[in-house]
Structure 1
Amino acid sequence: MDTLCIVAGEGTLPFSVARNARNQGLAVYVVGFEGTTDPSLEQHVDGLCWIKLGQLGKLISYFKNHEVTRAVFIGRIAHKVVFTDLKLDFKMLQLAMKLKDWRTDSILRLIADEITANGIEVIDSTTFIPELLPKPGILTRCKPDKKQQEDIHFGFYIAKRLAGLDVGQTVVVRKKSVCALEAIEGTNKAILRGGELGKKDVVVVKVSKPNQDMRFDVPVIGEHTIDVLKQANAAVLAIEAYKTILIEPEKVIAKADSYNIALVSADSSAFEFSKYETNGRGV
């Protein structure tokens, strides 16, 4: 039997992956992080091992002991964890010496390469939840007006460049002016800061990175995000089609409609950004 191991962060997505994988006949094990992963996940899988962030050697040993053939990273782990008192084991210390920086992609790709070198395939994190990836379109009954559509277009231009630097994936704009850029503080705090500066009817855009590695750090939107948008007096949330995970889509869409917030899923490849360029450089 093919054996999958879920490297689980916080939230409900690890549960969805576990359920769908088991329905496909896979044995499913979990590696959870103390203080982050929901302990009740253990009731839905074949086994769970608790580790601390930085214990890469223990992670790989668990994979091998359970003959894991594929691993999937799913669930949020806050980026600011790099500033906590991490206890790196010897295996992780060896890898850390190879890091050129401590950006998310740099860390995760190095870890994925080490796991792959030990014979375990790290797969696309959306493999078992394709139904949570929205197609292009306006998902809510509430629709953006013409000026808001222009802000979506401008927001995608800015957000894609921000994401390309692996700094953040969310921008808040109003009247084609940038109110906030996400950094290590995370999406929700960036939205609130942008809402405070933009005053009302801000447009929030959340995108994937250019050449997004779908194995990890795929953008995620849930009901709590919509609550934050309401608090920030946002009028629109635009996300990237096919590359954004909507947790419990029906509930997210219903809540957005109840707050009169338009939820738009857009294909960024359909946008033309040349009008924002100056002498071949970004604004």
Structure 2
Amino acid sequence: MERIGLIAGNGQLPFLFAREARSRGLEVIAVAHRGETDPALEAEVSAFTWVRLGQVDRIVRAFQKAEVKRAAMAGGIGRVRALTEAWPDLGAVRIISRLRSFRDDTLLRAIADYFEASGVTIVAPTDYLAQVLSPAGHLAGPRLHPAQEKDVALGVEVAALLGQADVGQTVVVRNGHVLALEAVEGTDETIRRGGKLGGKGAVVVKRCKPGQDLRFDLPAVGPRTLEVMREVGATVLAVEAGKTVLLDAPQLFQAAETNGVSVVAVP
């Protein structure tokens, strides 16, 4: 049986990837990050190894031992945890020593290059999960009114600039005012901060960085995103069509309908 590696982070994407790969007749060899990956993933794969953040060579050895030639990165890694709890091994030190900056895409590409030099090609998880990428158009909830459409357009524009700087993917807007930009805190805390500043009716925009490498760090939203929006009264979620992962889409759309949240996907 052909094998594929899974470098697992947090959330549901590692589960979706593992199940789809198995349905295609692949044997999934997973490496999971302590403090990030759900331990229940072990039941979904053929082999399962725990590592700490920064243990790059341990991942390489696990894949080489299992004769894995291809692997995908699926699921997020909390940026704060990456800053405070990493245990860099010699492989990580070698990667870091060659970098001129520590921006997300630069670091992830360098890690992928290191794996490939060790005989493991990094592929995009969405090569196996095209069905979870968002279609274009109005997806759930009320139709947008003109003021919300203007806020979405502003959020898309600002998110593109934020992405060019390789800082984050999420922008919160209301009535033509930018309330919050995502940095190290992540999407949920960005939504909370923006909602507290702008009150009810905030518009949340999440999009890919321009020129994003689709092998890693694709934007993802799910029912949890809607729950955080409900906490602060945010009423619109706009994502990038074709490049945003919809986690548990039926539950996401049902939550949007129940809470009166508009979900749209724009080019």
Paired position in structure 2 for 1:186: 186
Between 1:126-135 and 1:242-251, the stretch displaced more is: 126-135
Residue 96 of structure 1, CA deviation: 1.1
Paired position in structure 2 for 1:157: 157
Does 1:116 pair with 2:116?
yes
Gaps of 5+ in 1: 268-283
Q: How does 1:195-234 map to 2 (within 5 A)?
A: 195-234=195-234
Mapped to 2, the partners of 1:162 and 1:250 lie a distance apart of 30
The Cα RMSD (Å) is: 1.1
Residue 173 of structure 1, CA deviation: 0.7
- Residues 82 and 102, structure 1, Cα contact 8 Å, conserved in 2: no
- Residues 170 and 205, structure 2, Cα contact 8 Å, conserved in 1: yes
Letter in 2 for 1:215: R
TM-score normalized by the length of structure 1:
0.92
Does 1:48 pair with 2:32?
no
Mapped to 1, the partners of 2:223 and 2:68 lie a distance apart of 33
Runs (4 or more) in structure 1 with deviation over 2 Å come to none
Q: Percent identity between the aligned chains? A: 39
Mapped to 1, the partners of 2:24 and 2:82 lie a distance apart of 36
Q: How many residues align?
A: 267
Letter in 2 for 1:108: L
- 1:226-271 deviations in whole A, cap 9, x for unaligned? 011111211111000011001010110110111101000111xxxx
Residue 76 of structure 1, CA deviation: 1.5
Paired position in structure 1 for 2:90: 90
Residue 131 of structure 1, CA deviation: 1.1
Gaps of 5+ in 2: none
Letter in 2 for 1:147: A
Does 1:263 pair with 2:256?
no
- 1:103-131 deviations in whole A, cap 9, x for unaligned? 21122111000111122110112122111
SS at match of 1:102: coil
Q: How does 1:33-182 map to 2 (within 5 A)?
A: 33-182=33-182
Residue 211 of structure 1, CA deviation: 1.1
Mapped to 1, the partners of 2:108 and 2:226 lie a distance apart of 28
- 1:164-211 deviations in whole A, cap 9, x for unaligned? 111111111112111111110111111111111111211110000101
Residue 82 of structure 1, CA deviation: 3.5
Mapped to 2, the partners of 1:110 and 1:51 lie a distance apart of 19
SS at match of 2:125: coil
Mapped to 2, the partners of 1:91 and 1:191 lie a distance apart of 35
- Residues 7 and 30, structure 2, Cα contact 8 Å, conserved in 1: yes
TM-score normalized by the length of structure 2:
0.97
Does 1:3 pair with 2:3?
yes
Residue 85 of structure 1, CA deviation: 3.8
